[in-house]
Chains A and B, each alone.
Chain A
Amino acid sequence: MIDPLEKTPFILARADEFITWAQKNSLWPFGSGLACCAIEMIATAAARYDIARFGMELFRASPRQADLFIVAGTVTNKMAPVLRRLWDQMPDPKWALAMGNCAIGGGPFPTYSVLQGVDRIIPVDVHVAGCPPTPQGLIHGLMILQEKIARSRPTKEILNPDARRKS
């Protein structure tokens, strides 16, 4: 995590602001629909909720071009390796959002075939609870993610690539 007392040179701080402004306003989600939550995710992109307002409507079909992994739905043990691979295919910087109770912790399925929480395989930035979460809930989660991105310091990672690899 970032130490708030750590000093950042003025130029770098401005650069950070600049880069994070771009990153948080252009979060292209990876269109990965797994189960019920995927329908609500699509509803969020559709007319009434329209995440295009935040520049997030470009659902990329290829993980190579996406910034945000919305894990929308139940992750099964059979699907988990696939998800991990997709996550690895996404280029840095990338963020993950666990949408719905199933992705957070298995939800109502404590069974032999369900992965009990997607953070066992990929690092999740924001959890959005609900079964499924309403579009408003998802948008709220995305806003929280935007705030989180605004607090990040990308220049630190650019200047010191090893730090990223360690985290």
Chain B
Amino acid sequence: MQWGSVSEFFAMGGYGLYVWVSFGVTALCMFGEVLAVWRRHAAAVAESRDVS
């Protein structure tokens, strides 16, 4: 373990901004996609119930 403290971990040796933006955006994209597919599926199921 190379991190002395939590703040050191978040600082990432001075590159915190780059690292956390990268990981943050990736997480955001993936969660956003999951959410979008989830909602699309719910809507599709609801609509096919209406049709039948």
A and B physically associate = no
The residues of A with any CB-CB pair to B shorter than 8 Å are none
The residues of B with any CB-CB pair to A shorter than 8 Å are none
